[in-house]
Structure 1
């Protein structure tokens, strides 16, 4: 079940007004990433327009953006479809993330969170309040992506943020396919406390190291169940 408050934090600042295109894009992106819209399924514009309460024009603009992020694909005379999840792309995705994710963490720590510091502190406090509570599959996946996106924003580099958002989305789709077979899902999420602490403490080396280990662990866990 989707947590709207989590989605708000996951997609950015909570009080900024968003265009209809942005609203449609963010909601559809969430459904596609977490496979609420099954891979390979057709996109019914009429139904989505009603569900999202947006017109066909902003919806189509949102779909164009999603196509550039490789989350949907449009075929002439056939329509638009959710892309399939290409597990064979895991190595290529991981190669990019292993370089750029630690860089984002390092930059975020150098800025001590910058303009995203309040959000990072909020996430840190929520993790602390959970204590040893175990996360179910859906919670764990959403925690992972919301922490990563907060760190990307904290890095203060819009181009880096956009690139990592795209690759993180593709990686999360792969994770969703196999998540039920990964027993260490809770432990994977536990490193977020260390990551957030390093960023907020202004420790670039530690932040980069934690993030690098985290990304490598992600690929390792995926490969163990493939």
Structure 2
């Protein structure tokens, strides 16, 4: 499935201007980096030649003080608009740093499935992630059980085992002239030992790839900015 970080999929969102409410303050024009909104003859108008077409980011809706703009073609509800327009308490170093400091990477899990409701909430958070250009959705593969996670992990290790020759001493010596020193040391001191460890653990029926987690989500991009899947995954976590 995909997470709609592009907000609208393959179609542009549709902007509606409620002129009876609009005061032509220009805030929406300032925040729209697609140039979908313009002011002509002291009137707010929809630009017939925007940069890409409205991606439904919602910035114009969020900054409008008079609810004079609505956007359709994305999965926002009226409640979402209300949340976007309400003032939020400031997040500063004092309260953000302890939150980040208390983050932990979990590698031991309870033998308890993750409810679908929680999975949906995680995907909702991921869908709010910012994106690069061109706007596109982020794909996500969901493994929603310990058994699926284990099978995927072992399939991955089996694939590494079949490719192990690529990081063998002979192959590394052949590739060395074409690799930077840092990349060579990375393969020699990290990649090769890791592949060897995973492969030996697999033979002992031990999963050190995803640690038999009850849920795993793999985010990936198609035509998106290479960083977009990582950002979406960060929002999901």
TM-score w.r.t. length of structure 1: 0.23
With structure 2 as the length reference, what TM-score do the two structures score? 0.23
Pick the structure with greater CA Rg: 2
Relative to its length, the structure with more helix (as a share) is 1
Instruction: Kindly indicate which of the two structures has a greater share of residues assigned to strand.
Output: 2
